[in-house]
Structure 1
């Protein structure tokens, strides 16, 4: 026994004193500047409500109802302590060298927070992890089991409870994250100094508010290594530029294809890189592709409304395409909010007997907002009034505020993973084109955004026949008779697929509904060559989406070829070929190279 060697303790390297001195001096100088700037901005804005999201009222109502039935709370507490006692006993046995038993609670295999082997192999970190998971389950079970809450209030309580639970994960703290502790020992704490510098830089970017850097944005330039499919801007107005892409085939389909992306984000999600660009792929299939690139509006466009996006967006694009190609009829695609705009315009066109759009494709689009998913948490009267007051001062909604809302829907992936990587591990974010696009946020005009939130998310007027009047016409989605292709995604946290499916029971024309694996972006931007993500098809369209799914057939790979077969089979004229069209060679001259200048306007920092 005396000859046995004890395991060597990990070597802790002290940080470079010069580095510490420089970093702390920088912290003092930058920190003072950040605080001064933040306080100045708060003073100029007149301050905000202490509870702008109206969380306090929701939790007060939940607590009141919970206390009215203390027996349920006691029962939940008893179950929690029984599990916790079992965890203590299991951990004690492991520490005494006995075999590891079945975990009291196991993490989701997809949960990347606990991917490090120490969370399972080390009894201390395994205890920390299971303690957290037990506590998280207890909190969520208690708030989820309260009877009598109004559904919207229950949804808000559940959402913010999960936000709190996610924030309290032991993976988010230095002393309870084995990976961070290991990094700190290896670098002598230099990772924490680097992380502090990253934190200050992000506070500077957000002018006193934390704006987490998700990717190395120095590696990307729009028009240079993303959004590079060749084309020309052939038309523009106050709200949009229209891009016509260069053909890659000697002949093209007679009917042009126009894409209306959402103006909540920029269009180049469909043209990130050549290998995953839907724009390039559609061009290679022989489509003459046009894409609307929406303006990044400022206060001068505050009074632009939803009807302006119809008039200066869809209708203006149709007029311009006819001039550019000589073709009156088109196939149209709308992505998310762009799809909502497309459906609204099609109902308007039906009333006017305008038949220029021959087929409509909807990417992850909601038209019935009754069950709008977790975005509904942010839509109540108190929050809308506060938002409208803020937009009224500037004339627009800042894109960063909307981006933060979307990031909260997937906080572990889009917030806390970067906190750990950037601030605790002290690492630079990985260059990732999708996250660069996600961070390239856009503003929204005050009038349009208020209309959209109140009339669609809050009142659900779009689905009501005659519930909205736009450009002098009462909108009735039931009048849409063009062939429609609906692609939704199974893990969509922005447009839940069961909500998007409701359109199948509204439109009057022939409909094909396809469900793709993955989420709002990855399930859509899924080129055939990637070999990723399956999709489900079912020719029948029962009222219940679950019934549709039970009868659906899962097919491997991308849904893009299925769409192309569908759109070219929509009618007899769809496959007719004409000589390839060169952008700018028609009646509309080229104004500038794609991707144009509108997309280059960054959101205000």
Structure 2
């Protein structure tokens, strides 16, 4: 599609130039050359792809399925109702009158009038003055905003539809209207047209090459892929891999203080992402900061799934957490460890604590901290729209070798924030041909991991769809039933106020299932920035409530707001559980005399795609 539009744009520029002028003739030749180069690049790509087997298309890339989805959504909206149609037509006329009326005032008057507001409908996607430079583009984007608003209004107003299905309809409608924005297509984006004219078509060629590179790797690029290298300028906190299994490695970080807390910390990151979100760089690294606070920090680095891991179940990840806890206890000769579980690893940590409690081994864990983790999935956020029988079955079709390709998961998370993580980059890097920035967070976001397909399907079915984790003894692991009410371990539950993956209202429900002492903290921002917020950044805020509220609304109503990072609050909580210290010697310092280690941090597993 983009190839045809890019060629059409090159031809269009040539036709717009005055044929009688020598300059126009030269420009026409130039644009003809651009069209030829685009055709050549496309032909080479097609020849290259012929050598690859073309299996069945996925739902994400098959245009026929996208059209079918669009038709299914539109059929459920009351747009065929004559009254709705008349109301919509009246609004279209009003927008046209308002927009074209401004141009009728004359160029100078229009420039003076387009301050605030300069258009009936406003959206930051159309903030560039080019969208108001000509009546056609002003009308185009204003009609789009009007129609997309109407589609969403009617989708949200539909009644007599099961809540889950309605949520799917609203999500599908939003995804479609976002995709159909005129900003996403070369011939309807005046900013892209201006850039092409300014660069003599070079921006078209660069953008087309960017698009084909992404088609080759099956993943949207957000950042310069050559800008970061693990262990060199990202994930650089010094440490050693001190243990590994077929499923995970354990990294122990080198202490920077003479004394450390006697009880070490074991961090379980989600296996749907790379662990170094907690160790991006020296300024943002939670790991480095925790080490500087005098904690002996261990990090679990999960292996990206391959065909050998096809039969892994939740039991395997729960047992892996237990094994990691036991290994650290044995290595340092300590009775217990502090633990952190992030997202899905936090959900799993809850199950791990329940298993240990059932087995009479709860004292192996001195505390449990949960970063944006859920156990009750009744209101689990936007990801719920991807969980029904059909979509769970699709996972099996996409996983013929027994593991889910991480690129599908990345596409799912990108769709949840389509304008920010898809269409913004389509415009910048495909349509305008801009080069990619060097942004560590975006690099991490695109560093995908594969998941065992069998376990992933069970997770979506048993937890997200059927919400069985909160039903006592409904699920079992490691030979015993799981009952979260048995957890008496001191717990610190953190939620992000703007988290769309693990909404704070859903995370709050965690507190209803814990039987031990607990602290709930609401952090500013979302699923990532709400967690990765170092004190040095001076960003955001967090809320605490020392009373015993029954609901999140009560918590918020009586909460005290604190500026900046919540990390110092957490480490004070940790120290309050036990402040005994030991010298940072012997195996507290990995790789020292007599200590056998495997390799330097960050280890091989995090580098395996």
Please identify, of 143-152 and 358-367, the stretch whose mean Cα deviation from structure 2 is larger.
143-152
2:254 is equivalent to residue 246 of structure 1 = yes
Matched, 1:356 2:364: yes
The partner residue of 1:143 within 150, 155, 159 is: 155
Question: What CA distance in whole angstroms lies between the structure 1 residues aligned with 2:67 and 2:130?
Answer: 36
- Are 2:41 and 1:26 equivalent residues in the alignment? yes
Kept in 2, the 8 Å contact 1:253–1:577? The answer is: yes
Task: Tell me: CA distance 1:558–1:156, structure 2 relative to 1, closer, same or farther (3 Å).
Answer: same
Q: Distance in 1 between matches of 2:138 and 2:235?
A: 45
1:128 matches 2:140: yes
| Partners of 2:102 and 2:471 in 1: CA distance | 62
Partners of 1:328 and 1:119 in 2: CA distance: 65
Partner of 1:5: none
Superposition deviation, residue 281 in structure 1: 0.4
Give the count of matched residue pairs: 574
1:459 aligns with 2:466: yes
Q: Which residue of 1 aligns with 2:8?
A: none
What's 2:195 paired with?
183
Deviation at 1:320, TM superposition (A): 1.2
Deviations 1:350-405 (A, max 9, x none): 111211111110001010011111111111111212212443x2111111111111
The whole-number CA distance in structure 2 between the counterparts of 1:432 and 1:50 is 31
Contact 1:350 1:480 survives alignment (8 Å): yes
Residues 493, 519 of structure 1: 8 Å contact kept: yes
Structure 2 residue corresponding to 1:487, chosen from 467, 471, 494:
494
Q: Residue in 2 aligned with 1:4?
A: none
Q: Measure how far apart 1:18 and its partner are.
A: 6.3
Matched-pair contact (CA < 8 Å) for 2:59–2:66: no
Q: 1:343 aligns with which of 350, 356, 370?
A: 350
Deviation at 1:423, TM superposition (A): 1.1
- The answer to whether the 8 A contact 2:538-2:564 is kept is yes
Alpha-carbon distance in structure 2 between the residues aligned to 1:203 and 1:492 = 30
Label 1:516 to 1:125 Cα distance change in 2 as closer, same or farther (>3 A): farther
Which residues in structure 2 correspond to 1:274-289 (within 5 Å)?
274-289=282-297
Q: In the alignment, is residue 42 of structure 1 matched against residue 55 of structure 2? A: yes
- Distance in 2 between residues matched to 1:538 and 1:58, nearest whole Å: 46
Aligned counterpart in structure 2 of residue 403 of structure 1, from 410, 430, 435? 410
- Report the Cα offset of residue 29 of structure 1: 1.5
1:364 and 1:133 map into 2 onto residues whose CA distance is: 34
What SS does structure 2 have at the residue aligned with 1:80?
Answer: helix
Residue 229 of structure 1 corresponds to 237
Tell me how far apart the structure 1 counterparts of residues 295 and 260 of structure 2 sit (CA, whole Å): 6
Match of 1:155 among 167, 179, 197: 167
Aligned to 1:6: none
Partner Cα separation in structure 2 for residue 59 and residue 20 of structure 1: 34
Q: Does 1:269 align with 2:277?
A: yes
318, 326, 329: which one aligns with 1:319: 326
Alignment of 1:33-112 (within 5 A): 33-34=48-49, 36-37=50-51, 40-42=53-55, 60=72, 63=75, 66=78, 73-97=81-105, 99=113, 105-107=120-122, 111=124
Match of 1:167 among 164, 169, 179: 179
| Per-residue deviation, 1:159 | 0.6
Q: Gaps spanning 5+ residues in structure 2: where?
A: 1-17
> For 1:575, what is the secondary structure of its paired residue?
coil
Q: Identify the range of structure 1 (78-87 vs 297-306) with the bigger mean alpha-carbon deviation.
A: 78-87
Query: For residues 280 and 155 of structure 1, what CA distance do their matches in structure 2 show?
Result: 41
Report the TM-score when normalising by structure 2.
0.88
Q: Is the 8 A contact 1:194 1:423 kept in 2?
A: yes
- Match of 2:505? 498
Q: Could you list the per-position Cα deviations for residues 151-186 of structure 1 after superposition, in whole angstroms to 9, with x for gaps in the alignment?
A: 111111111110110011121122332321221121
User: Structure 2 residue aligned with 1:333, among 333, 340, 352?
Assistant: 340
Which of residues 500, 511, 515 is equivalent to 2:518? 511
My pick for the range that moved more, 531-540 or 337-346, is 531-540
TM-score by length of structure 1 reads 0.89
* 578, 583, 597: which one aligns with 1:579: 583
Take 2:509 and 2:266, find their aligned partners in 1: how far apart are those partners? 24
Question: Using a 3 Å threshold, how does the CA distance of structure 1 residues 64 and 213 change in structure 2: closer, same or farther?
Answer: closer
| 1:546 and 2:553 matched | yes
Give the alignment partner of residue 197 of structure 1, picking from 209, 217, 227: 209
